[in-house]
Amino acid sequence: MDGGQARYNWKVLLSGYAPQYAYENGSLDTRIPFEELRKLSYIDPNARAVGDDPEFSRKIRESLPGPQLKSNR
C-alpha cells in the first residue's frame, strides 16, 4: 500500500489471489491465519437464510470477523 491506497493489478484481481493479496498487505484482519479468516468470512449459508430481507447487507455481516483497527501511534 502506498499512502493508504492499495495498488491493484488486473493480474491479481482476475487470478483469484485478491483476498490473499489484501491479507498480506494488511487490508484484512491479520490477527488470525488467512485460511481461518477465509472460512469465517464465507457468507453463502447466511445469505441464503436472510434471503430478500431489506437488511440483507447488515445481517450477512453480523457474524463476520470485524476489521482490524489500525493505531495512529
Q: Is 4 contained in some domain?
A: no
- Whether the predicted pLDDT of 70 surpasses 90: no
**Three-state secondary structure along 2-60?**
ECCECCCCHHHHHHCCHHHHHHHCCCCCCCCCHHHHHHHCCCHHHHHHHCCCCCHHHHH
Is the model's pTM score more than 0.75?
no
- What is the model's pLDDT at position 1? 46
List the domain range (segments joined by +) for residue 15. 10-61
Which pLDDT tens digit goes with each residue over 14-48?
Answer: 777 888 888 888 888 899 999 999 999 898 998 99
- When divided into structural domains, the chain yields a total of 1
Q: State the DSSP code for 62.
A: T
Please indicate, yes or no, if residue 67 is contained in any of the structural domains: no
Q: What is the pLDDT of residue 12?
A: 63
